[in-house]
Amino acid sequence: MSITIINDNQNSLKNKIDYVKKTFLDYVGSNNSQKNLKILYSQLENVNNTDYDIILKTDPKAIDFFSNKSVYNINNIKFFNFENESIPILFHNNFTEPFIFDQNRKQLTIFIDIFASAFYFLSLWDEYVIKERDNHNRFIGKNSLLYKLDFLRKPIVTIYFNYLIFLIKNYFNINIQKRNSYASLTHDIDYIKKWSPGIIYRECIQYFLLNRLNVNFRKRFSRFYEFLKAFLIKNDPYLNSLNKIIEFELKNNIRSTFFIKTGCTSKHDVSYSVKNKFVKRKVEFLKEQNFDVGLHPSYKTYNNEIIMKDEKNRLIILLNNDKFGVRQHYLRYDIDITPNIQEKLYFIYDSSLGYHDVEGFRTGFSFPHYLYSNQNDKVLNIIEIPLVIMDSTLEYYRKLKPQQALNVIKEITNIIQKYGGVLTILFHNTCYDELDYPGWGSIYEDMVHNFINNNIQILTLQKILTAYFNS
């Protein structure tokens, strides 16, 4: 099948709409059908051209909205029904019904402005116009429009695209196959070893002597005993956890993506050398076993090209390969700076775009997609595979117990199966540390078994790209 989309907007929206067109066409993929479907995305009030199968009506207010760099007023939201859900739409042509079908002309007119609404989320417009950040200069997920709409857990752009495909199937009898759902397991290796001087001081002085956890003596002594036992026999929990993750995944014949640090630029980084024999052996083993290895650049790299380049070069030497992806440490990401740096340094993908404080679909889209620079009004040559769930979001920021976290993961897994997408999940190599993260290693295994039992294919991030863009 061939889909031709004509954007007749020759104004400030042109590049933005062309970007959404590209994202939609990537999503549809290729098919052997001979049908050529013609879609007109038009700013004209009256369109009577019978050359087009579908007319997508624009919202005339969208031009001024994006030109003025406005913050969206949630009171302007309208809703339409799709798959027994009420779906919010930001831009629309004052519709009573979301579409009409002219039986005589065999022409469909859609009054909800799918493309302008999709652009808002795909481009991270909230983050472009809202300046509030946390103490790590990160955008706060709870400030996003999707969170305020209680729609962060549902991939709204994917739903928009699915709605358009639904109409195409029903009114033009064209079969567009639903995209497969995948899970992608990822691990940021922030630490190789736990037993640093700072951790020893914490366990001996702060937790045991000063009782900073405010627990009774029995619990305090029990923790101190477990610490001593592990420390004295040189049983490092983070090393063990890393090994357990790899062993578990090999046993279940699945592969994941590991993001390795090569630099240290702040107190928020824990340094380990890629020249370390253990690190070199472990990375070599991961490569031999067909795991993916990417870069986990240090704290200050998100807005510093020089440091990022240096750290990437170190990983190139270690891997003997320059084709890999990146995930920013602490998920520090400036939409005006970070993707431009990543593009200049030729990373094949980024997977940083998940919120630190809440789980969900940060860009509203559940599949890989190219990023957009609002600052320069153009598509960037860097592909995003959005991060959906991070263990520390659930454990540290949301204060969930392991079983509660597993329930959240299962809920979002069901959503992925319903709408399609890639469920990218981050579990650090600390998850099997029973002293600080009791039960989280078991939750990781339960989560993976749930994917397997539900026939959700588990792929590395690089294999996700191949599966998506080559279909």
pTM, full prediction: 0.93
Q: What is the pLDDT, as a whole number, of residue 175? A: 84
Angle between helices 440-453 and 402-419 (to 10 degrees): 20
Q: How confident is the model at residue 10 (pLDDT cuts 50, 70, 90)?
A: confident
Tell me how far CA of residue 302 lies from CA of 106, 174, 263, 311, 353, in angstroms: 51, 44, 13, 12, 12
The answer, yes or no, to whether residue 191 has pLDDT greater than 60, is yes
348 Cα distance to chain centroid: 15
The answer, yes or no, to whether residue 228 has pLDDT greater than 90, is no
Segment 123-141 mean pLDDT = 97
Q: How confident is the model at residue 31 (pLDDT cuts 50, 70, 90)?
A: low
Q: What is the pLDDT, as a whole number, of residue 29? A: 87
Question: Where in the chain is CATH 3.20.20.370?
Answer: 181-194+236-469
Angle between helices 156-172 and 402-419 (to 10 degrees): 30
Segment 164-181 mean pLDDT = 91
Segment 335-362 mean pLDDT = 98
Segment 394-420 mean pLDDT = 97
Q: What is the pLDDT, as a whole number, of residue 246? A: 97
Q: What is the pLDDT, as a whole number, of residue 48? A: 67
Most confident option among 186-200, 219-233, 287-301 = 287-301
Percentage of residues of the chain with pLDDT beyond 90: 75
Whether residue 295 contacts residue 313, with contact meaning beta carbons closer than 8 Å, is answered with no
**Structure confidence by residue, pLDDT tens digits, 80-101:** 999 999 999 999 988 899 999 9
SS3 (DSSP) at 212: coil
Rounded CA separation 343/280 (Å): 27
Segment 350-368 mean pLDDT = 98
Segment 66-83 mean pLDDT = 94
Q: What is the pLDDT, as a whole number, of residue 174? A: 86
Q: What is the pLDDT, as a whole number, of residue 205? A: 75
Torsion of CA 234, 394, 245, 272, to 10 degrees: -50
The answer, yes or no, to whether residue 34 has pLDDT greater than 60, is no
The answer, yes or no, to whether residue 32 has pLDDT greater than 50, is no
Residue holding tokens 């890629």?
Answer: 274
Say which range, 30-39, 122-131, 257-266, has the weakest mean pLDDT: 30-39
The answer, yes or no, to whether residue 33 has pLDDT greater than 60, is no
Whether residue 425 contacts residue 163, with contact meaning beta carbons closer than 8 Å, is answered with no
Residue holding tokens 């003596």?
Answer: 217
The answer, yes or no, to whether residue 375 has pLDDT greater than 80, is yes
Rounded CA separation 260/389 (Å): 19
Please spell the DSSP secondary structure of 25-47, one letter per residue: HHHH-------EEEEEEE--S--
| Residues linked to residue 326 through DSSP beta bridges, in sequence order | 295, 350
Higher-confidence position of 106 and 413 = 413
Segment 286-315 mean pLDDT = 97
Q: What is the pLDDT, as a whole number, of residue 53? A: 92
Q: What is the pLDDT, as a whole number, of residue 434? A: 85
Q: Which residues of 135-164 are buried (b: 16+ CB within 10 A; e: fewer)?
A: eeebbbbebbbbbeeebbbbbbbbbbbbbb
Give me the phi and psi of 293, to 5 degrees please.
-125, 125
- Please name the fold of domain 181-194+236-469: TIM Barrel (3.20.20)
**Structure confidence by residue, pLDDT tens digits, 254-296:** 999 999 999 999 989 887 888 888 889 999 999 999 999 999 9
The answer, yes or no, to whether residue 173 has pLDDT greater than 50, is yes
The answer, yes or no, to whether residue 137 has pLDDT greater than 90, is yes
